[in-house]
Amino acid sequence: AVEVGGDDKEVVREYFNGTGFQRWKKIYGDTDDVNTVQLDIRLGHSKTVDNVIKMLTDDEDGGRPLRGVTVCDAGCGTGSLTIPLAKEGAVVSASDISASMVAEAERQVREALADDAGGELVMPQFKVGDLESLEGKFDTVVCLDVLIHYPQSKADAMIAHLASLAERRLVLSFAPKTLYYDLLKRVGELFPGPSKATRAYLHSEKDVERALEKVGWRIRKRGLVTTQFYFAKLVEAVPAA
Ligand code: SAM
């Protein structure tokens, strides 16, 4: 297994089982009790989810290309991606370091299942655990907005591990490190708000690409989602050979 995290990881686990869970459940939900910034992040994140579904279904000629395809949703949160994937007929293995997140994702899937008149939804398998403890082989591995919790020094090992689980493709999203966003982040660090409980790490696309190339993968598609307060670079990688 790859060792990642140290203190960071324990802090992240605690955060996403506590205040972070409450905060992100609200952001990823559909209730009205969100402020302008949270609403903006909700919108940005939902665009990322839509883009991923498009990426994973685009290159096939119609039908339901994800039907029966094994997908690992690594760091699944409240199931924002797990549920649309399961509705597309994918056989999803979803996991998260936070037990609270996994319980909420399971609850939302049961709710979706109750509404699933056509009976198309395939029940995902859920597990509490960190990315490093993931095992097995999946057609597709997806890891959305989790790299923000990994410093670049740990990100390479995390990306290599996820690639080793994927047979055909790996989809990653991360907050891009550009001068402008770096600056924004530094300003944020000067004035930390009360809800800033974890460190946020930005990644340059070049660094992510290099980490993929090191283990024999290449980027096939790229996307960028930005709203006022949400920035995500999206890459789909495939084995280079
Ligand atoms: N991927 C989900 C989505 O896009 O809706 C959730 C994104 S949320 C910003 C980040 C998630 O990553 C949290 O649910 C957190 O518990 C999880 N996470 C952070 N570090 C992790 C790790 N080392 N292993 C597994 N999950 C982790």
> In angstroms, what is the span from residue 118 Cα to ligand 1's centroid?
30
What are the backbone dihedrals phi and psi of residue 91, each rounded to the nearest 5 degrees, phi first?
-95, 100
**What's the pLDDT at 1?**
38
Ligand 1 pocket test, pick from 52, 78, 104, 146 with the greatest ligand atom count within 8 Å of Cβ, gives: 146
Does this complex have an ipTM over 0.95? yes
For residues 151 and 83, the answer to whether their CB atoms sit within 8 Å is no
**What's the pLDDT at 3?**
45
**What's the pLDDT at 188?**
73
**What's the pLDDT at 56?**
95
Tell me if 162 CB under 6 Å of ligand 1: no
Instruction: Read off the pTM.
Output: 0.93
Q: Is 81 exposed, middle or buried (0-12, 13-18, 19+ CB in 10 A)?
A: buried
Facing residues of 223 across strands? 234
Give me the tens of pLDDT residue by residue for the chain, a chain 241 residues long: 344 445 789 999 999 999 999 999 999 999 999 999 999 999 999 999 999 999 999 865 667 899 999 999 999 999 999 999 999 999 999 999 999 999 999 999 999 998 887 778 999 999 999 999 999 999 999 999 999 999 988 999 999 999 999 999 999 999 998 877 777 777 777 665 555 567 889 999 999 999 999 999 999 999 999 998 899 999 999 999 7
Give the residue whose CA is nearest to atom 6 of ligand 1: 77
> How far apart, in whole angstroms, are the C-alpha atoms of residue 43 and residue 41?
5
For residue 191, the 8-state DSSP code is S
